[in-house]
Amino acid sequence: MANFVLNATNRDVTGKGSSRRLRRLENLVPAIVYGGQGEPAQISLKHNELIKLLEDEAFYASVVELNLEGATESVILKDLQRHPAKPVILHADFMRVDMKVEVVVNIPLHFINEDSCVGVKMQSGKIHHDATEVEVRCLPGNLPEFIEVDMLEVEAGTTLHLSDLVLPEGVVSTQLALGADHDQPIVGVNKPSGAASDEDGEGEGEA
């Protein structure tokens, strides 16, 4: 798991006007830290520093060391508000974590071997993605940066579900924990347009 450090300062004045001044005049991002044993804290982050960290995908699913005016807390990013048209972060939410208490986090999916997938290369199918991330529950120290989905042997007409994912030890899918009827589709390979289904082929053969 990658190590990230983020510096912050306390923010005494809140409200939309104050937040706009922080972003416009001081190049700071208003943020909040909540959870754990402490009270919610309004903080400010350096915009350039936060933007740089956000370039690393691992940041979104990692424990971050938040240095708040000399005091250090372990947090994870829970929410991020971006400007709809500009590369500007409007607000960030961080949640305190206890390394002995499980957390629920969305982990990105990495689809590998798509170009050499059997269903695409040999059977002219097309890959369709039903999800790009999966919600998991685990201890903060077990958080994976991403989960790989190997498409090499996936044939046309096949769909992979949550139950097909290989999760690291100690990591549990929150949806699968609710039961088999929550086994959601993740990715599949569509058959080429016009291809007959197996059922259609069997019917024609019998006729």
Is residue 169 in some structural domain?
yes
Looking at the fold, whether 89 and 111 belong to one and the same domain comes out as no
Is residue 15 in some structural domain?
yes
Query: Which one-letter amino acid corresponds to residue 42?
Result: Q
Looking at the fold, whether 14 and 83 belong to one and the same domain comes out as yes
Does residue 143 contact residue 1 with C-beta atoms inside 8 Å? yes
Looking at the fold, whether 83 and 113 belong to one and the same domain comes out as no
Please say which residue of 65, 96, 127 terminates a domain: 96
The CATH number given to whatever domain includes residue 168 is 2.170.120.20
User: In which domain, by residue range, is 35 found?
Assistant: 4-96
Is residue 205 in some structural domain?
no
Is residue 61 in some structural domain?
yes
Looking at the fold, whether 90 and 12 belong to one and the same domain comes out as yes
Given this model, what pLDDT does residue 20 score? Answer: 60
Given this model, what pLDDT does residue 205 score? Answer: 47
Rounded to two decimals, what is the model's pTM? Answer: 0.81
Is residue 195 in some structural domain?
no
Compute φ and ψ for 199, nearest 5 degrees.
Answer: -65, -40
Looking at the fold, whether 125 and 182 belong to one and the same domain comes out as yes
Please say which residue of 96, 119, 137 terminates a domain: 96
Given this model, what pLDDT does residue 182 score? Answer: 97
Mean pLDDT in each 10-residue stretch from start to end of the chain (207 residues)? 85 62 71 91 93 94 92 94 91 95 96 97 97 96 96 97 96 97 97 66 46
The CATH number given to whatever domain includes residue 72 is 2.40.240.10
How is the chain classified by DSSP, letter by letter? ---EEEEEEE----SHHHHHHHHHHS-EEEEEEE-TTSPPEEEEEEHHHHHHHHTSGGGGGS-EEEEETTEEEEEEEEEEEE-SSSS-EEEEEEEE--TTS-EEEEEEEEEE--TT-HHHHTT--EEEES-SEEEEEE-GGG--S-EEEE-TTPPTT-EEEGGG--PPTT-EETTGGG-GGG--EEEEEEPPTTPPPHHHHHHHHH-
Is residue 203 in some structural domain?
no
Number of domains in the chain: 2
Looking at the fold, whether 109 and 92 belong to one and the same domain comes out as no
Given this model, what pLDDT does residue 30 score? Answer: 92
